[in-house]
Chains A and B, each alone.
Chain A
Amino acid sequence: MALLEIDNLSAFYGRAQSLHNVSFNVGKGEIVAVIGTNGAGKSTLMDSIMGMVKNTGAIRLEGQDLIGFDSSEIVKRGVGYAPERAHLFPFMTVEDNLLVGGYTARDDIGRNLAHVHELFPVLKQRATQETATQSGGERQMVSVGRALMTSPRLLLVDEPTIGLSPKVCSEIAATLKRLNEEDGLTILITEQNINFAMSLATRVHVLETGHLRISGTPQELAADDALNKAYFGG
């Protein structure tokens, strides 16, 4: 059984519909990427999984429907989320931001914090710094770290590379790969940065104005002329 099943998912903001019957699965231990341009519905998809948007259709985690539950319950069930623009607590220290992430997984706080420090040693050095004064790359690390503090079985990462330098992007990519390979963590990423997504994911879906257009392995998609034309101008 897939860890995450998304079945005929539509999303609505008032009368506006921003996802149209989207369906795909994420298998246990996979890294799946959803790529698309601005406004394609990538963040809406992630927010839908977290119970923050009005939806129809089904979102199942290990067969259990998530729709109708609030975010705190979804976090408890094992979904960690590093959203676009991080949504950190700006006037709290790095350490306190991470500790807030441990709100539901209190028994694992010591182990999770040690693991986050091992993945991102700079966060240990900056433990007492307020996140408002951090660089974009470090803030992204705190965001992923905070999501890991929830002891997730599924990690959602929304546009982790936005506004970051290539060096920081490759560091983030290496960490996500390590989480997947060493810890067996299942990861769903959304990206505009296609190279980043293709280098990490085992399967890639292309989202366009709320519709899932093309799906395949990175190799299949790289061979797709229409996709190359649309995204690489080739």
Chain B
Amino acid sequence: MSQILIQGLLLSGLYALIAIGFTLIFSVGRVLNLAYGAYLMLGGYAYFWVVQTMHMPKLLGILVAIGVGVLAGLLKHRLIVKPLKSDPVAVEIATLILAVVIQAGVVLVFNDSAKIMHPIVNGVWRVGGATVTYNILTATIASWVILIGLYYFVRKTHVGRAISAVSMDVKGAAISGINPDRINMITWGLSGALGAIAGVFFASYTQLSPSMWVAPLIIAVAVVIVGGIGSIIGTLIVAHIIGFMEIISTTLVAAELRGVFTMLLIIVVLVMMPKGLFGRGEL
């Protein structure tokens, strides 16, 4: 029981971090960035290259991963989203194709075999019969710190409030002196950074492989669909629902069912509550 509780909390924190960058883009631009999982992959591989291939410090690996994520986000906005004028269907098709292209690029550079990433933090903590690696504990704490930081950024800074304003009313934002296009660009860069750092932790929790973009994308889509248009608090709550559902199903039912209940939940919510549990335009 304590194993389920602890593992559930840890996994959910990571899921919230995975979903938040995706939610951000959906709230502000009203598009599903289906290449979002590729940010995680790029972040994971960038960290792997810096730390395990080039033998450089881990902190540098994380910074390079964030840099790659920001660059990927900004390029995607400039080369795809802006020319397509944020047309949701066109952006979704283009980003899905882009994810497959990035996958091919990763295979070309790193080959198609899965790679094990060394833990970012070594060691194990035994608590109440459960075993927790410092690695996943660090990932969860980092997730919470980033999410709380993001919450205050959105609530308390001019740029954060502007992101929130654009997500609720583009015209209202524009006549307040905000340039919605610039805010969109900043959001894509921020989403890239969040995705990339989530990718480093996700890869250290699972493994690196050229198809690793799919699972986090499903988690992110589930959080947006189940939670409704994304709020940071809503993202946290739904990430916990999905995280616990996954731990309970894999521990008590069958490990092979990992991810299946998440996908079923997407369908059930789409049919029963099309606006999601917290269907409102808040950020």
**What residues of chain A have their CB less than 8 Å away from a CB belonging to chain B?**
50, 52, 70-72, 75-76, 81, 83, 86-92, 96, 99-106, 146-147, 149-150
CB-CB under 8 A from B165, the residues of chain A are 89, 92, 100
Residue in B closest to A147 when the chains form the complex, CB atoms:
B175
| A89 CA to B45 CA, complexed, in Å | 39
Are the CB atoms of A90 and B281 closer together than 8 Å?
yes
CB-CB under 8 A from B281, the residues of chain A are 90-91
- CB B40 to nearest CB in A, in angstroms, measures 29
Q: Which of B169-207 contact A (CB under 8 A)?
A: 169, 171-179
CB-CB under 8 A from B280, the residues of chain A are 91
B115 on interface, CB distance cutoff 8 Å? no
Residue in B closest to A91 when the chains form the complex, CB atoms:
B282
Which residue of A52, A72, A89, A90 is within 8 Å of B177 (Cβ)? A72
B164 on interface, CB distance cutoff 8 Å? yes
Are the CB atoms of A100 and B161 closer together than 8 Å?
yes
**What residues of chain B have their CB less than 8 Å away from a CB belonging to chain A?**
155, 158, 161-162, 164-165, 168-169, 171-179, 280-282
Given A88-B169, A92-B164, A100-B161; A50-B178 close (CB under 8 Å) = no
CB-CB under 8 A from B173, the residues of chain A are 89, 100
CB-CB under 8 A from B174, the residues of chain A are 50, 52, 70-72
| A86 CA to B158 CA, complexed, in Å | 21
| A52 CA to B158 CA, complexed, in Å | 23
Are the CB atoms of A87 and B172 closer together than 8 Å?
yes
Given A72-B178, A100-B176, A103-B176; A52-B171 close (CB under 8 Å) = yes
Known pairs A100-B162, A103-B177 / 18 extra A-B pairs, C-beta < 8 Å: A70-B174, A70-B179, A71-B174, A71-B175, A71-B177, A71-B179, A75-B175, A75-B177, A76-B177, A89-B172, A92-B165, A92-B168, A100-B161, A100-B165, A102-B158, A103-B158, A147-B175, A149-B176
Which residue of A52, A75, A90, A106 is within 8 Å of B168 (Cβ)? A90
| A70 CA to B178 CA, complexed, in Å | 10
| A81 CA to B173 CA, complexed, in Å | 11
Are the CB atoms of A72 and B179 closer together than 8 Å?
yes
| A90 CA to B171 CA, complexed, in Å | 13
CB-CB under 8 A from A75, the residues of chain B are 175-177
CB-CB under 8 A from B176, the residues of chain A are 75, 100-101, 103-104, 146, 149-150
CB-CB under 8 A from B162, the residues of chain A are 100, 103
| A146 CA to B175 CA, complexed, in Å | 9
Are the CB atoms of B168 and A81 closer together than 8 Å?
no
Are the CB atoms of A104 and B168 closer together than 8 Å?
no
CB-CB under 8 A from A147, the residues of chain B are 175
Which residue among B162, B172, B177, B179 has the maximum number of chain A CB atoms within 10 Å of its CB? B177
Return 20 A-B CB contacts under 8 Å, by A number: A52-B171, A71-B174, A72-B179, A76-B177, A83-B175, A89-B164, A89-B173, A90-B169, A91-B168, A92-B161, A96-B164, A99-B161, A100-B161, A100-B178, A102-B158, A103-B161, A104-B177, A147-B175, A149-B176, A150-B177
